[in-house]
Amino acid sequence: MAGESRSVVVADDDPEVRRLLHEYLEGCGFAVLEAQNGLEALLHVKRARPAAVVLDVHMPRLGGVDALRRIRSFDPSIVIAVVTGDEDIELHRRIVEHGAAAVFMKPVALPALAAALTLVAAGGTVAPVQAPPPPETRAPAPVAVAAERASVLIVDDEDSVRQLLLDFLQPLGYDVQTAPDAVTGLRRLGQATVDLVLLDLEMPGLSGIAALPSVRALAPEAAIVIISGSADTSLAALARAHGAFDYVTKPIDFVRLQQTLETALAVRRVQA
């Protein structure tokens, strides 16, 4: 594999998709460069010599298939994972024939993508086509800690953060609900039992820290994990004093987050 073994170029013309992939892969330990089209991806490849490229098929200024061919021609050792919303099997076949290591259907199963890149970085190989079946028949990846379909409520006022966490947790087998503010989150807790609550600390209106006692009262058995853009240790201590299980800072370290959720569920099972 070319370049640093954990360096990746993420190429997609949708800025939200780029941000999603960037934050997730960075949280998994990859060094990430962004490109908004195929031409930028090719320039990054020539300048930075990354180990891998995550490439959208349909982009302006040198589309994904053309970019794939040129990158492979420049350096065939660079691993290319293609992402697409197109279910055309013939297109998938052509992508693999042009040298893609794997094809992922959108919405991308982020843990599967990270696992594939990690495997290849370690010298392994992945199955060429990672396109899942249509959504109505798609099953979540089996993960031991979520085998009982643990339920999670995400409370965060940022749309992108809620989507990021949703895209991370659903493929792991979690049953996920979201709320855009603390008041809506409390309403959700009054309507259904959950195992885990991911609660943003700083939200307009009722803040996470102010809502924490009410969350604790409505969901006394749930493990509450605070998510915050502040690394202030006094806030973390205050959150724990009010009943939070743990405190995770933004940008989110997804490896640590997964470990935290696994630990929280294990503690709940022991205490049950």
Mind listing the pLDDT tens digit for each residue in 259-268?
888 888 887 7
Using a cut of 0.85, tell me whether the model's pTM lies above it: no
Question: Does 144-271 carry CATH code 1.10.357.10?
Answer: no
Pairing of strands 246-249, 223-228: parallel
| Percent of the chain surpassing pLDDT 70 | 86
Which residues of the chain are modeled with pLDDT < 70? 1-5, 119-148, 270-272
Residues of the chain with CATH 3.40.50.2300: 7-136, 144-271
User: What is the residue type of 245?
Assistant: F
Name the H helices within the chain.
Answer: 15-27, 38-48, 64-74, 89-97, 110-121, 159-169, 182-191, 208-218, 233-241, 254-271
Output the pLDDT for position 143: 38
CA dist 249 and 90 (Å) reads 43
What dihedral angle (degrees, nearest 10) is formed by the CA atoms of 116, 121, 126, 130? 30
Pairing of strands 7-11, 31-35: parallel
CA dist 35 and 19 (Å) reads 11
Output the pLDDT for position 64: 75
Output the pLDDT for position 6: 81
Output the pLDDT for position 134: 38
Question: Does 7-136 carry CATH code 3.40.50.720?
Answer: no
Output the pLDDT for position 45: 95
